[in-house]
């Protein structure tokens, strides 16, 4: 290593290069697969590692601080670089210092060699004589030069999560920003791809995947402009409303940004993230996720004990492993018959459920399945005993209206007594009913009056950070105190899908939109970042598609049902049973195998979005293969485009060219077809595309012959 040069790369050489200039400033001289922008140029032309307010302000700063005493400027010089070993690779701390004021800043990194992943964050340590205010604190501020970049990002809103947008970055700032504090990822989810040169494809192109591990509002800004066509990304919490006062001696840490590079297209960034997330990020990443039967779409609030028990009978008959009782089971004086009452009153509604939760959990156990329960612990309806007793427990400002959304208000988790109430409520349920082994943790509105009378005046402007931290504290406490209970993270669907929250949760509810045609596109998008085992996918009547198609789509992720089982025809029941059987026989592949996106539902390089239907190909196929390449399961979908072109064949991936495989059609209701082919054949020529009609699916099981 040259003196003054710092390289932070994974073992395959991808990552950052920084260099210290003669004046002590730290410049970024590369971030990429081979991070080098050419030697010999004066370092002053290279972007700063962390641009601050007070340095060359023709670009947005990554750090803006008002120092104790009022100085608004920060100039950082290099103060040291320490390395240590952690279980995945090296941990680096690059220390910077504002000599004039004594502010210390460190850039933290962890490389994960085997997985090709880098984590990055920023810390500000207040070494000054009194409080400072941090207005901007990016987790990462990587920069690039003179190269076309294509941004792929996702979001949309309720039932529109994971809409894919891909665009070439042009001069100016592309700003992805989310708000509301509770369901921010409905608007913009905290994952993106940057492709360099041309839009990347599955197997070609230089591409960077980024994931911001932050459960609150996010901001990812991509600023392309001078000097010299420089592109700068600022990734972190949304700074608006995140202006944090840091007391003397305290440290403020940004969220963590997770990066994965690939020189050979998106398949590799996905593999890297999936492997790393399962091993290091999501809760119990190696535990198989159950096949779930949920009652929400089947009953909404209109159920009773008898109805639920008969659904459990059907769940067991179909082979599901867990029955999940959704919203509507609670409320005493304000029963939850609708969404306008009862939230906060977590006592069972004995009118609907005379035997209580205990009887339901026992009924599930008698049928050999597990029992799960829905909660929305951060919320309260004004029509509730909780609100009557504690009207001051909600997020509000005295003397101002409290705006309701879905007839509910948000509990102010910044108050310690509210956090305690939430943990005790959940804990009370779990302790009283050991039969509950799964919780769906929902949150169905945003904060509209950010601020808390419980916080001092100088902490109001940092409310989004306070709230996000308080929420994580509650989540972590529940996860830690009840380690055996599985948790699904839901916020009106996929309103919370970040890697910070997934430390405490086993999966996310991908979207309330379960129309399988839309789900092919959503799951396709999500699969670029999140492994299939964390993406809840249920068969419902949404979209009125054939049940066999719904099954085939849901089976490619964490499979389950949300169906009125009493309304299933015999044929549909048969299909569901067969689907569970096939899923369970291949669960290890879907939930643990290597994902291969084989036929894209999007045309390459098109601006893809729900409105851009012209950008859709009409077909999609993906597979999961075992790491030893001896088994695979392949899913093919013909979507609803009338007259949409169909591919001639699906060339497979993840097999051994030298081996011979048995290829068997296994989709419920599909033809009884078995063939034999070599891995080379299956990967070169592929499987003939068997689908012609819209909304049909094929599934193949591919296994090495003995
Ligand atoms: C929103 C969730 O996304 C749904 O799945 C369901 O749980 C409802 N909330 C219940 O109110």
pLDDT tens, residue by residue, 509-533: 999 999 999 999 999 999 999 999 9
Residue 136: pLDDT over 80: yes
Q: State if residue 442 touches ligand 1 by the CB under 6 angstroms criterion.
A: yes
pTM of the model: 0.97
Residue 605: pLDDT over 80: no
Quick one: pLDDT at residue 69? 96
Quick one: pLDDT at residue 76? 97
Query: Considering 447, 481, 512, which residue would you say is the last residue of a domain?
Result: 512
Q: Which of 294, 509, 514 to mutate to test the pocket of ligand 1 (most atoms within 8 A of CB)?
A: 509
Quick one: pLDDT at residue 45? 85
Supply the CATH number for residue 649's domain.
Answer: 2.60.40.1180
Least confidently predicted of 541-545, 578-582, 640-644: 640-644
Instruction: Tell which wins on pLDDT, 306 or 230.
Output: 306
Which residue, by CA, sits nearest to atom 11 of ligand 1?
Answer: 327
Average pLDDT over residues 250-265: 98
Same domain, 443 and 494: yes
Q: State if residue 296 touches ligand 1 by the CB under 6 angstroms criterion.
A: yes
Spacing, Cα 327 to ligand 1 middle (Å): 7
Tokens of 571: 């044929």
Residues 6+ apart with CB under 8 A from 305: 352, 353, 354, 355, 359, 360
Q: How far is CA 385 from CA 336, 421, 607, in A?
A: 12, 14, 50
Does any domain span residue 560?
Answer: no
What gap in Å lies between CA 52 and CA 49, rounded to an integer? 10
Residue 39: pLDDT over 90: no
Q: State if residue 65 touches ligand 1 by the CB under 6 angstroms criterion.
A: no
Same domain, 129 and 96: yes
Spacing, Cα 492 to ligand 1 middle (Å): 6
Average pLDDT over residues 337-346: 98
Quick one: pLDDT at residue 147? 85
Spacing, Cα 491 to ligand 1 middle (Å): 8
What gap in Å lies between CA 176 and CA 133, rounded to an integer? 24
Q: State if residue 326 touches ligand 1 by the CB under 6 angstroms criterion.
A: yes
Q: Which atom of ligand 1 is nearest to the CA of 339?
A: 11
Spacing, Cα 523 to ligand 1 middle (Å): 19
What gap in Å lies between CA 524 and CA 190, rounded to an integer? 16
Q: State if residue 327 touches ligand 1 by the CB under 6 angstroms criterion.
A: yes
Quick one: pLDDT at residue 643? 59
Angle between the N-to-C axes of helices 463-481 and 416-432, in degrees from 0 to 180, rounded to the nearest 10: 20
Does any domain span residue 469?
Answer: yes
Does any domain span residue 519?
Answer: no
Q: State if residue 525 touches ligand 1 by the CB under 6 angstroms criterion.
A: no
- At 654-700, the pLDDT tens digits run 999 999 999 999 999 999 999 999 999 999 999 999 999 999 999 99
Spacing, Cα 526 to ligand 1 middle (Å): 20
Spacing, Cα 654 to ligand 1 middle (Å): 37
Same domain, 505 and 360: yes
Supply the CATH number for residue 39's domain.
Answer: 2.70.98.60
Spacing, Cα 504 to ligand 1 middle (Å): 20
- At 307-332, the pLDDT tens digits run 999 999 999 999 999 999 999 999 99
Residues 6+ apart with CB under 8 A from 620: 520, 521, 524, 599, 600, 601, 636, 637, 639
What gap in Å lies between CA 171 and CA 224, rounded to an integer? 5
Spacing, Cα 498 to ligand 1 middle (Å): 19
| Stretch (H or E) spanning 261 | strand 256-262
Cβ 510 vs Cβ 537: under 8 Å: yes
Residue 400: pLDDT over 50: yes
Does any domain span residue 524?
Answer: no
Same domain, 115 and 229: yes
Q: State if residue 510 touches ligand 1 by the CB under 6 angstroms criterion.
A: no
Same domain, 316 and 447: yes
Which residue, 625, 617, 588, is CA-closest to 600?
Answer: 617
Average pLDDT over residues 345-370: 98
Same domain, 144 and 113: yes
pLDDT bin (cut points 50, 70, 90) of residue 535 is very high
Spacing, Cα 211 to ligand 1 middle (Å): 25
Residue 611: pLDDT over 80: no
Residue 640: pLDDT over 80: no
- At 447-464, the pLDDT tens digits run 999 999 999 999 999 999
Tokens of 673: 């077809």
Spacing, Cα 485 to ligand 1 middle (Å): 20
Q: Output b/e per residue, 508-527; b: 16+ Cβ within 10 A.
A: bbbbbbbbbbbbbbbbbbbb
Residue 95: pLDDT over 90: yes
In three-state form (DSSP H/G/I as H, E/B as E, the rest C), the secondary structure along 368-384 is CCEEEEEECCCEECCCC
Which residue, by CA, sits nearest to atom 9 of ligand 1?
Answer: 492
Does any domain span residue 671?
Answer: yes
Average pLDDT over residues 15-35: 93
Q: Which of 490, 491, 493, 537 to mutate to test the pocket of ligand 1 (most atoms within 8 A of CB)?
A: 490
Spacing, Cα 74 to ligand 1 middle (Å): 46
Which residue, by CA, sits nearest to atom 10 of ligand 1?
Answer: 327
Sort residue 36 into left (φ over 0), alpha (ψ -120 to 50) or beta: beta
Quick one: pLDDT at residue 4? 84
Q: State if residue 513 touches ligand 1 by the CB under 6 angstroms criterion.
A: no
Q: State if residue 376 touches ligand 1 by the CB under 6 angstroms criterion.
A: no
Residue 15: pLDDT over 70: yes
Quick one: pLDDT at residue 59? 83
Angle between the N-to-C axes of helices 305-318 and 570-592, in degrees from 0 to 180, rounded to the nearest 10: 70
Instruction: Tell which wins on pLDDT, 55 or 494.
Output: 494
Q: State if residue 490 touches ligand 1 by the CB under 6 angstroms criterion.
A: yes
Same domain, 211 and 317: no
Residue 436: pLDDT over 80: yes
Q: Which of 185, 295, 327 to mutate to test the pocket of ligand 1 (most atoms within 8 A of CB)?
A: 327
Supply the CATH number for residue 444's domain.
Answer: 3.20.20.70
pLDDT bin (cut points 50, 70, 90) of residue 615 is confident
Quick one: pLDDT at residue 608? 56
Q: Output b/e per residue, 666-705; b: 16+ Cβ within 10 A.
A: bbbbbeeeeeebebebbbeebbebbbeebbbbbbbbbebe
Q: Which atom of ligand 1 is nearest to the CA of 562?
A: 5
Same domain, 67 and 210: yes
Which residue, by CA, sits nearest to atom 2 of ligand 1?
Answer: 492
Same domain, 296 and 403: yes
Tell me the pLDDT of the chain averaged across its residues.
95
- The 3-state DSSP class for residue 220 equals strand
Does any domain span residue 541?
Answer: no
Query: Considering 279, 311, 338, which residue would you say is the last residue of a domain?
Result: 279
Average pLDDT over residues 417-426: 97
Residue 1: pLDDT over 50: no
What gap in Å lies between CA 241 and CA 235, rounded to an integer? 16
Query: Considering 474, 493, 512, which residue would you say is the last residue of a domain?
Result: 512
Same domain, 495 and 598: no
Average pLDDT over residues 582-603: 96
Q: Which of 444, 494, 562 to mutate to test the pocket of ligand 1 (most atoms within 8 A of CB)?
A: 444
Same domain, 328 and 264: no
Domain of residue 695, residue span: 594-704
Q: Which of 182, 337, 496, 512 to mutate to test the pocket of ligand 1 (most atoms within 8 A of CB)?
A: 512
Does any domain span residue 381?
Answer: yes
Q: Which atom of ligand 1 is nearest to the CA of 493?
A: 3
Quick one: pLDDT at residue 606? 57
Q: State if residue 463 touches ligand 1 by the CB under 6 angstroms criterion.
A: no
Spacing, Cα 541 to ligand 1 middle (Å): 15
Quote the percentage of the chain above a pLDDT of 70: 97
Tokens of 292: 């779930």
The string of DSSP codes covering 596-645 is EEEE-SB-TTS--SSS-GGGB-SEEEEEEE-TTSSEEEEEEEE-S-TT--
Q: State if residue 509 touches ligand 1 by the CB under 6 angstroms criterion.
A: yes
Q: State if residue 341 touches ligand 1 by the CB under 6 angstroms criterion.
A: no
Spacing, Cα 402 to ligand 1 middle (Å): 23
Q: Structural domain tally of the chain?
A: 3
Residue 703: pLDDT over 80: yes
Quick one: pLDDT at residue 609? 55
Q: Which atom of ligand 1 is nearest to the CA of 512?
A: 3
Q: State if residue 512 touches ligand 1 by the CB under 6 angstroms criterion.
A: yes
Least confidently predicted of 256-265, 286-295, 361-370, 609-618: 609-618
Same domain, 64 and 154: yes
pLDDT bin (cut points 50, 70, 90) of residue 645 is confident
What gap in Å lies between CA 528 and CA 535, rounded to an integer? 12
Quick one: pLDDT at residue 313? 98
């Amino acid at each position: 290593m040259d003196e003054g040069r710092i390289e932070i790369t994974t073992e395959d050489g991808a990552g950052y290069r920084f260099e210290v200039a003669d004046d002590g400033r730290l410049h970024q001289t590369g971030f990429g697969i081979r991070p080098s922008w050419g030697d010999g140029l004066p370092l002053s032309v290279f972007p700063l590692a962390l641009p601050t307010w007070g340095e060359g302000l023709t670009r947005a700063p990554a750090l803006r601080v008002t120092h104790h005493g009022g100085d608004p400027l920060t100039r950082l010089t290099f103060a040291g670089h320490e390395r240590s070993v952690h279980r995945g690779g090296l941990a680096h701390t690059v220390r910077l210092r504002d000599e004039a004021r004594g502010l210390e800043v460190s850039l933290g990194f962890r490389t994960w060699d085997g997985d090709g992943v880098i984590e990055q964050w920023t810390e500000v340590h207040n070494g000054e004589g009194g409080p400072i205010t941090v207005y901007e604190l990016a987790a990462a501020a990587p920069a690039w030069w003179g190269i076309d970049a294509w941004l792929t990002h996702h979001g949309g809103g309720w039932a529109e999560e994971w809409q894919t947008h891909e665009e070439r970055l042009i001069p100016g700032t592309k700003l992805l920003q989310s708000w509301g504090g509770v369901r921010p990822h409905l608007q913009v989810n905290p994952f993106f791809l940057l492709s360099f040169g041309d839009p990347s494809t599955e197997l070609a192109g230089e591409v960077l995947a980024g994931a911001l591990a932050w459960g609150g509002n996010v901001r990812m800004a991509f600023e392309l402009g001078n000097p010299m066509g420089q592109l700068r990304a600022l990734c972190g919490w949304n700074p608006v409303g995140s202006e944090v006062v840091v007391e003397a001696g305290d440290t403020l840490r940004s969220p963590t940004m997770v990066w994965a590079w690939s020189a050979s297209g998106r398949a590799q960034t996905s593999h890297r993230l999936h492997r790393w997330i399962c091993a290091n990020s999501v809760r119990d990443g190696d535990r198989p996720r159950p096949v779930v039967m949920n009652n929400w779409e089947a009953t909404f609030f209109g159920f009773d004990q008898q109805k639920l028990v008969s659904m459990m009978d059907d769940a067991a008959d179909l082979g599901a492993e867990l029955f999940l009782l959704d919203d509507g089971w609670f409320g005493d004086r304000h029963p939850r018959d609708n969404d306008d009452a009862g939230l906060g009153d977590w006592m069972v509604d004995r009118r609907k459920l005379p035997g209580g939760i205990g009887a339901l959990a026992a009924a599930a156990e008698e049928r050999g399945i597990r029992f799960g329960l829905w909660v929305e612990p951060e919320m309260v309806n004004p029509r509730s005993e909780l609100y009557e007793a504690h009207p001051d427990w909600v997020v509000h400002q005295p003397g101002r209206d409290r705006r309701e959304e879905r007839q509910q208000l948000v509990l102010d988790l910044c108050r310690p007594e509210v956090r305690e109430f939430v943990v005790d409520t959940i804990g009370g349920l779990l302790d009283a009913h050991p039969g509950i082994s799964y919780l769906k943790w929902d949150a169905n509105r945003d904060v509209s009056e950010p601020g808390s009378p419980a916080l001092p005046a100088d902490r109001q402007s940092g409310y989004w950070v306070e709230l996000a931290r308080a929420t994580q504290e509650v989540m972590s406490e529940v996860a830690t105190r009840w380690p055996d209970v599985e948790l699904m993270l839901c916020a009106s669907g996929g309103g919370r899908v970040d890697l910070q929250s997934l430390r405490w949760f086993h999966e996310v509810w991908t979207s309330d939109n379960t129309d399988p045609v839309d789900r092919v596109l959503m799951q396709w998008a999500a699969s670029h970042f999140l492994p299939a085992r964390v993406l809840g996918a249920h068969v419902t009547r949404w979209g009125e598609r054939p049940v066999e198609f719904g099954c085939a789509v849901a089976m490619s992720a964490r499979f389950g049902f949300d169906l009125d089982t009493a309304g299933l025809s015999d044929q549909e029941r048969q299909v569901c049973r067969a689907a569970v059987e096939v899923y369970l026989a291949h669960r290890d592949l879907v939930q643990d195998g290597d994902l291969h996106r084989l036929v894209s539902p999007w045309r390459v390089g098109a601006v893809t979005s729900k409105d851009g239907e012209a950008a859709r190909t009409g077909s999609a196929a993906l597979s999961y293969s075992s790491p030893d390449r001896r088994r695979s399961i392949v899913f093919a979908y013909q979507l609803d485009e009338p007259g949409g072109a169909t591919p001639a064949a699906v060339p497979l991936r993840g097999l051994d060219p030298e081996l011979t495989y048995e290829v068997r059609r296994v989709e419920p209701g599909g033809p009884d077809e078995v063939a034999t082919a070599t891995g080379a054949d299956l990967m070169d020529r592929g499987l003939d595309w068997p689908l012609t009609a819209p909304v049909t699916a094929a599934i193949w099981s591919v296994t090495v012959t003995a």
